[in-house]
């Protein structure tokens, strides 16, 4: 069993240790163990918006459960295990969707999840989980830092995160590199019980997103009400292939006018206070 396999085994231990944003990059510089979701929110480790996928009383709780269903239990064909979560334009809420989807998947009895923050220009995942973004995927791709030093526990059992790390000078080249392709292949081959979520930059500002999508099993596309134009969304779907789209999230829609339409026609809707 290689270093990557050992790293994932360690990431699944029930007691998680979290590092606050800005903490030392040394692995031993961690806060005391936090053992419940309530403690995570009370200690302000997790962003309050993550309650949406953990609190059954939250308005969108069931929406995230429905979003995970075609990923975990597809009606036909093999289960997609490497998933790109992206948007066409910036500020559509894809990081928020990635984080809550990761939590929802990890809370399923039979599944684990790991998230990779591939948005090197505007990373969001580490902050949502109260973790440091000082080191991450960039260090593995650029400096060949071993993954066991980069995988972070989130506090949710069966859910881990590889932050993006500090912004590099050449994000496109790094995400389309042979090293990134090898990382995707190795993770997919070794862990048949894990869903791997890749939070990628918006397609319209990052050429690497379309290329990355072609290496992964499926795409969750986040479209914000009043955001991306229809022709841009269609162009992206045509580029990656309609068969790749496993979920479409219509975010920040006006609930009073569009709720019924989104639930029936578009798939998954999230109210106007989710960003």
Residue 190 confidence (pLDDT) above 80: no
pLDDT at 3: 52
Cβ within 8 Å of residue 118, ≥6 positions away: 137, 164, 175, 198, 199, 200, 201, 212
Q: In the predicted model, what is the mean pLDDT of residues 57-62? A: 83
From 2, 7, 34, 35, select the one nearest 20 (Cα to Cα): 34
Per-domain residue ranges for the chain?
3-8+49-73+81-270
- Residue 262's pLDDT band (cuts 50, 70, 90): very low
pLDDT at 122: 93
- The more confident residue out of 254 and 128 is 128
d(CA 51, CA 34): 16
- Residue 158's pLDDT band (cuts 50, 70, 90): very high
pLDDT at 207: 81
d(CA 12, CA 153): 8
CA-to-CA separations, 78 to 40, 82, 90, 170, in angstroms, rounded: 35, 12, 31, 34
Residue 25 confidence (pLDDT) above 80: no
d(CA 59, CA 7): 35
DSSP for 171-208 reads HHHHHTSHHHHHHHHHHHHH-TTEEEEEE---GGG-TH
Q: In the predicted model, what is the mean pLDDT of residues 13-42? A: 48
pLDDT at 81: 93
Q: Kindly report the average pLDDT of the chain as a whole number.
A: 81
Residue 193 confidence (pLDDT) above 50: yes
Residue 182 confidence (pLDDT) above 60: yes
pLDDT at 266: 45
Pairing state between β 82-87 and 194-199: parallel
Spacing of C-alpha 179 from chain mean position: 20
Question: Structure tokens of 123?
Answer: 């990373």
pLDDT digit string (tens) for 202-258?
A: 988 788 898 999 999 999 999 988 888 899 999 999 999 999 999 999 886 665 444
pLDDT at 254: 64
pLDDT at 44: 73
Classified as helix, coil or strand, 213 is helix
Q: Which fold has domain 3-8+49-73+81-270?
A: Rossmann fold (3.40.50)
pLDDT at 227: 83
- The more confident residue out of 271 and 46 is 46
d(CA 227, CA 112): 32
For a pLDDT cut of 90, what percent of the chain falls above it?
Answer: 53
pLDDT at 273: 37
How buried is 44 (Cβ within 10 angstroms: 0-12 exposed, 13-18 middle, 19+ buried)? exposed
- Residue 106's pLDDT band (cuts 50, 70, 90): very high
Q: In the predicted model, what is the mean pLDDT of residues 143-149? A: 89
CA geometry: angle at 162 spanning 69 and 206, to 5°?
A: 80
């Amino acid at each position: 069993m290689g270093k990557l396999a050992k790293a994932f085994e360690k990431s699944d231990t029930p007691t998680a240790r979290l590092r606050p944003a800005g903490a030392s990059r040394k692995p031993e510089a961690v806060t005391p163990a936090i053992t419940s979701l309530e403690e995570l929110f009370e200690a302000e480790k997790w962003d309050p918006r993550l309650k949406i996928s953990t609190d059954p009383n939250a308005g969108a709780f069931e929406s995230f459960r429905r979003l995970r269903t075609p990923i975990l239990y597809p009606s036909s064909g093999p289960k997609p295990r490497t998933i790109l979560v992206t948007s066409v334009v910036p500020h559509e809420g894809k990081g928020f969707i990635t984080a809550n989807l990761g939590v929802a998947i990890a809370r399923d009895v039979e599944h684990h999840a790991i998230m990779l923050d591939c948005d090197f220009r505007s990373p969001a995942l580490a902050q949502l989980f109260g973790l440091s973004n000082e080191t991450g995927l960039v260090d593995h791709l650029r400096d060949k830092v071993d993954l066991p030093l980069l995988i972070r526990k989130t506090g949710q059992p069966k859910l881990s995160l590889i932050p993006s790390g500090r912004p590099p000078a050449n994000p496109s080249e790094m995400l389309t590199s042979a090293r990134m392709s090898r990382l995707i292949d190795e993770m997919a081959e070794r862990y048949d019980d894990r869903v791997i979520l890749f939070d990628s930059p918006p397609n319209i500002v990052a050429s690497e997103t379309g290329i990355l999508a072609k290496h992964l099993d499926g795409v969750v596309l986040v479209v914000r009400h009043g955001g991306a134009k229809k022709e841009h969304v269609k162009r992206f779907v045509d580029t990656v292939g309609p068969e790749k789209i496993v979920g479409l999230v219509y975010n920040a829609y006006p609930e009073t006018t569009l709720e019924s339409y989104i639930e029936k026609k578009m798939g998954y809707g999230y109210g106007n206070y989710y960003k």
